Amino acid sequence: MSNSAEIKINGNTYELPVIKGTEDEVAIDIGKFRSESGVITIDPGFKNTGSTKSAITFLDGEKGILRYRGYTIEELAEKSSFLEVAYLLIYGELPSEDVLTKFKEDISRHTLVHEDIKKILDGFPSAAHPMGVLSSLVTSLTAFYPESLDPNRSADEVDLSIIRLLAKLPTFATWAFKNEIGHPVIYPKNNLDYTSNFLQMMFGLPAEEYEVDPVVAKALDQLLILHADHEQNCSTATVRVVGSSHASLFASISAGVCALWGPLHGGANQAVIEMLEQIQADGGNTAKWMAKAKDKNDPFRLMGFGHRVYKNFDPRAKIIKKAADDVLKKLGVNDPILDIAKGLEEEALKDPYFVERKLYPNVDFYSGIIYRALGIPTEMFTVMFALGRLPGWIAQWKEMRENGEPIGRPRQVYVGNNERSYVPMDKR
Ligand code: CMC
């Protein structure tokens, strides 16, 4: 394997260093190429551009591999818990029992939010999408903890912000939902584990005791593990770029929530259910919608199919498909939308258009189905994704800052007008 690559341009040859990752991924380092040649590289959507060296998550889209800190997603989903995985992602190693107990206790102690945050929440109309509310409440933490704005804080101080964020996100998420339905917010109960506490704040009512179904809590915990990190995707790259300007952790994560919101990223799970409802309202003719998805003149895409990096299968989709089957069976859910989902899945898996383009159901296809079965309303799906992704965002932000990475600042190829004279109003 060569240690360098050559680029020939305008009669000159430039030698560029080649670097190799621990999983033998090879990259050409173009960091100094522009200063030496005056030429940049272009790659819209960063489809083939590595923005960093990272030791957090390894993903091989062709082989369908996903590992957090070296541990396979299959093993973690089966044997671990969400907070253990969060610790692993953020601090690099699986915690000992004592360390995990303390981590959980610290998080439980910080679940409550400042009462003034309720005033901010009250300012939102009930039509506000919970992702917008979530993002705003996360960034509002900079006002309640202004010391978090100091980019030179000690590791212990950063850890406290991390604990606060992990602790408060479920409170914010469920309060955003309560705002939407016009119900009073439910306060956290610190004797409950992370997902059970989330469920009681989400579905509880002040007048009655909410009983957490352990099957639901377990399924949710597993879903959060599956979403916990996914290396340099749109929202994570956003968190790193925002944080690279030395913006605070809270501001960076708030930006990540916004990036996740879109239907091509985290919003896909909401889009999946909306699509299934649309197909149902249209008479449930899946063949017609399959044809629309394949028609290049029709903007319709089959939501929950295809992935930017997984071009064979999404390993998370395999685990989640099984979880979906288990949960639906256990809860005895009978939902016509699910029959439409199954029909689409079967047809797409044997349709040459989807097979040739390697378009398989992705994690969001099944997560939407599970969330619906758990009684979580559609507009909260992306919020659930954000809850799961939080440890990954934090780990990536921390790594970027600890590595002292430079501010993110891409270049461009300008294709606009050349210099021209200002045209007075009466001549336009
Ligand atoms: N339905 C119909 N055709 C599709 C679909 C789809 N869902 N996805 C891709 N294609 C076609 C696309 O039209 C193109 O066809 P052609 O080569 O003939 O022009 C080909 O497949 C390649 O598509 P692409 O847009 O170049 O693929 P990409 O890697 O840039 O996009 C994607 C990946 C996820 C944005 C896209 O597959 C998509 O829009 N899927 C639906 C939305 C979705 O489920 N998103 C969730 C992704 S998983 C969650 C996450 O990690 O954020």
pLDDT per residue as tens digits for the range 65-101: 999 999 999 999 999 999 999 999 999 999 999 999 9
Side by side, which strands form the sheet with 26-28? 4-9, 12-20, 26-28
Return d(Cα 15, Cα 8) in angstroms, integer: 9
Atom of ligand 1 nearest to the CA of 309: 29
Give me the pLDDT at residue 67, please.
98
The residue whose CA has the least distance to atom 31 of ligand 1 is 308
Expressed in angstroms, the distance from the first to the final Cα of the chain is: 60
Q: Which amino acid is at 354?
A: F
Atom 29 in ligand 1: which residue has the minimum CA distance?
308
Longest Cα separation, the chain: 78
Residue of 239, 269, 308 best suited for mutating to test ligand 1, as the one with most atoms within 8 Å of CB: 308
Residue 280 CB contacts under 8 Å (≥ 6 apart), including other chains: 336, 337, 340
Residue 270's pLDDT is 85
Helix, strand, coil share of the chain (percent; to 5): 55, 5, 35
Q: What is the pLDDT of residue 166?
A: 98
Task: Look at strands 4-9 and 12-20 and give their pairing.
Answer: antiparallel
- Ligand 1 contacts CB of residue 357 (under 6 A): yes
| Residue closest by Cα to atom 2 of ligand 1 | 301
Return the residue whose CA atom lies nearest to atom 26 of ligand 1: 308
Structure tokens at 145: 């903890």
- Distance of CA 204 to CAs 121, 163, 177, 374, 384, Å? 18, 24, 12, 14, 17
pTM of the predicted protein model: 0.90
Ligand 1 centroid – CA 358 distance (Å): 10
Q: Which residues are catalytic?
A: 307, 364
- CA 60 – ligand 1 centroid, Å: 18
The answer to whether the beta carbons of residues 336 and 280 sit under 8 Å apart is: yes
Q: Distances from the Cα of 128 to the Cαs of 122, 135, 181, 324, 396, in angstroms?
A: 11, 12, 10, 29, 29
Residue nearest to atom 20 of ligand 1 (CA): 357
Q: Is 264 in the pocket of ligand 1 (CB under 6 A)?
A: yes
CA of 306 to the centre of ligand 1 (A): 5
Low-confidence ranges of the chain (pLDDT < 70): none
What type of residue sits at position 318?
K
The closest residue, in CA terms, to atom 9 on ligand 1 is 306
Judge if the beta carbon of residue 292 lies within 6 A of ligand 1: no
What the chain holds in terms of domains, given with CATH numbers, is 4-50 (2.20.28), 82-264+378-402 (1.10.580.10), 268-374 (1.10.230.10)
DSSP letter at 209 equals P
- Report residue 413 as tokens: 């190829």
Check pocket membership of 359 for ligand 1, CB cut-off 6 A. Answer: yes
| DSSP at 123 | T
In 10 A of CB 155, how many CB atoms?
Answer: 8
Quick check: 398 and 243 in contact, CB under 8 A? no
60 backbone dihedrals φ, ψ, rounded to 5° = -120, 105
Pocket test for ligand 1, best of 292, 316, 362 (most atoms within 8 A of CB): 362
Note every long-range contact of 235-239, with CB atoms under 8 Å and residues 24 or more positions apart, other chains counting.
Answer: 235/259, 235/260, 235/265, 235/266, 235/389, 235/393, 236/389, 236/392, 236/393, 236/396, 237/46, 237/51, 239/393, 239/396, 239/397
Which ligand 1 atom lies nearest to the CA of residue 305? 7
| pLDDT, tens digit, 9 for 90 and up, residues 276-327 | 999 999 999 999 999 999 999 999 999 999 988 888 788 998 888 888 877 8
Cβ–ligand 1 distance for 355 under 6 Å, the answer: no
CA of 38 to the centre of ligand 1 (A): 34
Residue-level pLDDT at 339: 84
Q: Whose CA is nearest to atom 30 of ligand 1?
A: 308
Task: Determine contact, residues 239/355, Cβ cutoff 8 Å.
Answer: no
Give the model's pLDDT for residue 368.
84
d(CA 42, ligand 1 centre) in Å: 21
The candidate with the shortest Cα–Cα distance to 66, out of 379, 425, 316, 323, is 316
Q: Which atom of ligand 1 is nearest to the CA of 266?
A: 52
Asked if 239 and 393 count as a contact pair (C-beta separation under 8 A), the reply is yes
Alpha helices, DSSP H only, in 80-154? 82-91, 97-109, 116-122, 130-144
